[in-house]
Amino acid sequence: MYMSRIRLQPNASENKDFWRSLGNTYQVHRLLWSLFADDPQRNRDFLYHCENTKGLPTFYSVSERIPEDEGGMWQIESKHYEPTLHVDQKLSFSLCANPIRTKRDGEGKQHRHDVVMNAKNQLKQEGVSRGKWPSEAEIVQEQGFEWLARKGEQYGFSVGEHEVRADGYRQERFYKAKGKHHVNISTVDFTGLLTVTDPARFQNALYRGIGPAKSFGCGLMMVRRPLI
């Protein structure tokens, strides 16, 4: 596997066509796919995460192949990515994720709900008056942590309630395929400390991602040794 840092060339920030290409999450998705577009039939084999650095985007990707830029717009730095992991290892992490709950309706059909809206709907159903609701930040923290803790059981890590911050809740709706289909995504930013419980499963999570919406910049967990 490879870890890549993808940044704009110094002279590309003034390219108007580039800034038009970043109109929404779907356009960013298409932009990143273009760096891995060696075969139109290829399935996605990479994860990516976007950060803003001094107002400019920096992308990080984990992939089976090194990304290639045919347009000369990007600086791409890649290296082999094989993290050394062991049981009880402490790591700092950051993650942008699409935390959801899946529920079945009366007909047995599955429906996805983001965990924050699901919690708000439960409060409504329970008849709790708005004035007694927790703040949105409190709901994001509580529901986000619970979701991440469950994912940890699945993916070989554990987290402590007071060692994780969940914030930056965002909702986005955009259209793909020339406006014929719309996508709704809710994201939460996680940062904190984790403990590795199963190195093999955790490595798979680092390579394959956590949660849904991976095609749209979610699921890539960035880890490093904690600064203690």
Q: Cα separation of 64 and 57, whole Å?
A: 22
- Specify the pLDDT at position 180: 66
- Those residues whose C-beta lies under 8 Å from the C-beta of residue 90, and which sit 6 or more positions away, are 193, 194, 195, 226
- Specify the pLDDT at position 14: 66
pLDDT in tens, 27-47: 777 788 888 877 766 788 899
- Those residues whose C-beta lies under 8 Å from the C-beta of residue 103, and which sit 6 or more positions away, are 110, 111, 113, 118
- Specify the pLDDT at position 110: 72
Closest CA to 194 of 160, 171, 228, 155: 160
CB neighbour class for 104 (10 Å; exposed up to 12, middle 13-18, buried from 19): exposed
| DSSP result, 154-213 | HHTEE--GGGEEEEEEEEEEEEETTTTEEEEEEEEEEEEEEEES-HHHHHHHHHH-SSS-
Per-residue pLDDT, averaged over 109-116, amounts to 83
Predicted confidence band of residue 21 (pLDDT cuts 50, 70, 90): low
Q: Cα separation of 212 and 200, whole Å?
A: 21
CB neighbour class for 6 (10 Å; exposed up to 12, middle 13-18, buried from 19): buried
**Residue 133: DSSP 8-state:** S
Per-residue pLDDT, averaged over 99-109, amounts to 76
Per-residue pLDDT, averaged over 181-188, amounts to 85
